[in-house]
Amino acid sequence: MEQLIQQLINGVSLGSIYALIALGYTMVYGIINLINFAHGEIYMMGAYIGFALTTFLGLGFAPSLILSMIGCSILGMVIEKVAYKPIRNSSRISALITAISVSLFLQYTMMYFVSPQTRTFPEVLKRKSISLLNGKIIIDQKNIYIVAITVLLMLLLQYVVKKTKLGKAMRAVAQDKEAAELMGVDVNKIISFTFAIGSALAGAAGVLVGIYYNTINPLMGATPGLKAFVAAVFGGIGIIPGAVLGGFSLGMIETVVSAYGGSVFKDAVAFAILILILLIKPNGLLGKTVKEKV
C-alpha cells in the first residue's frame, strides 16, 4: 500500500507536466480545430530557454520560469502567424502535415544549434524531502513545486477564460467563429492569444521537467507531446477541465504501471488508453456528444 501511495504521488507530479502540455492542445483545438503536433517541441524550447537562463545568466528558478513562458508564448504566436494562419481554411490533412513539419523543423533546428547531446539542467532548487509514515513515503520538494505551480497556472487560466473580456471572446470564437467575427471580435487576435497562452504553459512544463529530471535534449518533446495529446483526448479535447483530468490520470497510470514491473510497456499503455477511449467514448470522459443538423 505504501508503494502504491508513493507511486501515485510521483504520478501527480508527472501528470502535472502532461496536464500543462495538454492544455495547449485542448485550447488550440477548441478555437480552430487544429491538433498542434508542434506543441511538444515548444515544451522542449521552454526547457532550453530555462537552461540558458540558469546556466549562462545565472538566474534563479522564478525568473527563468517566467522568461521561458514569455519566450515560448512569442514563439507560439510566430508559428501561428507563419505556419498555420496561411492554411487556416485548408483541409485538415494540410494542417496536420504542416504541424508535423513544424515539429520536425524545430527539433532539427535545435539539434543543429545545440547538438543532439543530452544536457544537464542546473540544480536551481535545493534537494529537500518530506518523510511520512516513518519514512515509508517520501515527498520531494520538487514534486511540491511542480504540483503547486501547475495548479496555480491552471487556476489563472480558468480565471482568464471565465472572468475576463478576452476569455469571453475566446469562448465566443470557439463556439461560432463567423458569428463572433460579425459581432466585432478580432478572430486573428484571439487565435494568436490562444497560441500564446498554450505555448506559455508548455514552456513552464519544459522548465519544470528540466528541474525534475535534470536532463534535456532536442528530441525530448516528441513522446511527452504525444502523451499530452492522449491526455487531452482522454479527458475530452477542447475542454480545459478535461485536459487537467486526463493529464493527472495518465501520469498516475504510467507511474503505477512502471512501479509494478511494466516500465518497458508504460508508453504502450498510454496509447492503448487512447485506442480504448476512441472506441468506447470518442469525445473523452468530460466530452459531450454534439448533434449536427443536416
Span 147-167, pLDDT tens digits: 899 999 999 998 999 899 999
Question: What's the structural domain count of the chain?
Answer: 1
Is the per-residue pLDDT at 207 higher than 90? yes
Is residue 68 a part of any domain in this protein?
yes
Q: Which domain holds residue 23?
A: 9-221
Is residue 29 a part of any domain in this protein?
yes
Give the C-alpha separation, 247 to 5, whole Å: 18
Is residue 217 a part of any domain in this protein?
yes
Give the C-alpha separation, 79 to 171, whole Å: 22
Is residue 275 a part of any domain in this protein?
no
Is residue 164 a part of any domain in this protein?
yes
Q: What pLDDT score does 132 carry? A: 72
Cell of 92: 485538415
pLDDT 10s digits, 247-281: 998 888 888 888 877 677 888 888 888 888 888 88
Contact between 142 and 207 under an 8 Å Cβ cutoff? The reply is no
Task: Express as a percent the part of the chain with pLDDT over 90.
Answer: 40
Give the C-alpha separation, 54 to 47, whole Å: 11
Q: What pLDDT score does 242 carry? A: 87
Is residue 282 a part of any domain in this protein?
no
Q: What pLDDT score does 289 carry? A: 58
Is the per-residue pLDDT at 292 higher than 60? no
Average pLDDT over residues 25-38: 87
Core vs surface per residue 54-74: b (16+ CB within 10 A) or e: beeeebebeebbbbbbebbbe
Is the per-residue pLDDT at 290 higher than 50? yes
* Predicted structure pTM score: 0.90
Average pLDDT over residues 17-37: 88
Give the C-alpha separation, 124 to 61, whole Å: 6
Is the per-residue pLDDT at 133 higher than 80? no
Is the per-residue pLDDT at 294 higher than 50? no
Cα atoms in the 13 Å half-sphere on the side-chain side of 133: 9
Is the per-residue pLDDT at 41 higher than 70? yes
Is residue 236 a part of any domain in this protein?
no
Cα atoms in the 13 Å half-sphere on the side-chain side of 232: 28
pLDDT 10s digits, 74-108: 999 999 999 999 988 888 888 889 999 999 999 99
Is residue 252 a part of any domain in this protein?
no
Mean pLDDT, all residues of the chain: 87
Is the per-residue pLDDT at 30 higher than 90? no
pLDDT category at 175 given cuts 50, 70, 90 is confident
